[in-house]
Structure 1
Amino acid sequence: MTVHPVTLGAINLEARDPASLATFWASVTGSTPSPGGDTVHLPPAGPGGFAMFFRRQEGPRPERHAVHLDLTVPWGTRQAEVERLIGLGATCRWDVLDEFPHVQWTTLADPEGNLFCVAEHPPAQRAAQVP
């Protein structure tokens, strides 16, 4: 059996206001929303980026999120990025800073309550020094 490379085509989100949520995520990623009928497409902002689709929410939002996005930024830039995202309308939920030597992150919620994390991974030599 031949296994072909698998890549992420797009992340799909339901939203009470798809256009508004797409605008928030466009500001996060640096992309430009492309409305089309009942949905909004957010293409990748560049190589290595990811696409998103937003459509109208058809039922109540589940209380527990089974999936969320983990966004990665360079070491030492997480706090500045978190502050930028809060300025765009995200809400800080919690930080995980000292529990794991290979990563620290902040969990946020977008304007409609979808959780996502902003993570930074220390340089290899720093991760090896942390007990």
Structure 2
Amino acid sequence: MVTADTTDALELGTWWAEQTGAEVAEENDGHYVMVRGGGLPVVLAFQKVDEVTPGKNRLHLDLTTDDLEAETERLLAAGASLVGRRGDENFRWHTLADPQGNEFCIATQQA
């Protein structure tokens, strides 16, 4: 399980469930939300805290897709923000942030 601190666990857990095709499996009165399924290899959990730790997160998700540009645009339309487009002709990935600023990357699947 990978757990992220957040000021609104249900809102952020629901966003991640929608983006990954998973579902909110447990709500726990909005204090500890667990997201499962949708092909996720791990459970994502979101823990409500009064204040998140400032600065860049030290742990992040790396997700893969068959169409990097289309998936980036879909996530941006859903409320993610673009941190940067990275890589070269051999390997490309985009760093985004979820609606609460937690960074994650998406990359083209490697053969």
Kindly state the Cα deviation for residue 62 of structure 1 after the two structures are TM-superposed. 2.5
Q: Does 1:85 align with 2:75?
A: yes
Structure showing greater Rg:
1
Kindly state the Cα deviation for residue 86 of structure 1 after the two structures are TM-superposed. 0.7
Residues 82 and 97 of structure 2 are in contact (CA less than 8 Å); yes or no, is this contact kept in structure 1?
yes
Could you say what the CA RMSD is over the residues aligned between the two structures, in angstroms?
1.7
Residues 104 and 121 of structure 1 are in contact (CA less than 8 Å); yes or no, is this contact kept in structure 2?
no
Q: Distance in 1 between matches of 2:36 and 2:110?
A: 29
The equivalences for 1:29-108 within 5 A come to: 29-34=20-25, 35-37=27-29, 38-46=31-39, 49-74=41-66, 77-98=67-88, 101=90, 103-108=91-96
Q: Distance in 2 between matches of 1:13 and 1:85?
A: 19
Kindly state the Cα deviation for residue 58 of structure 1 after the two structures are TM-superposed. 3.9
SS, match of residue 23 in structure 2: coil
SS, match of residue 4 in structure 2: strand
User: Paired residues, what number?
Assistant: 109
Q: Distance in 1 between matches of 2:82 and 2:64?
A: 16
| Structure 2 stretches lacking a partner, 5+ long | none
**Moved >3 Å (runs of 4+):** none
The answer to which of 55-64 and 106-115 deviates more is: 55-64
Sequence identity, in percent? 32
Q: Distance in 1 between matches of 2:55 and 2:110?
A: 33
Residues 26 and 32 of structure 1 are in contact (CA less than 8 Å); yes or no, is this contact kept in structure 2?
yes
Residues 22 and 54 of structure 1 are in contact (CA less than 8 Å); yes or no, is this contact kept in structure 2?
yes
Residues 19 and 75 of structure 2 are in contact (CA less than 8 Å); yes or no, is this contact kept in structure 1?
yes
Kindly state the Cα deviation for residue 44 of structure 1 after the two structures are TM-superposed. 2.5
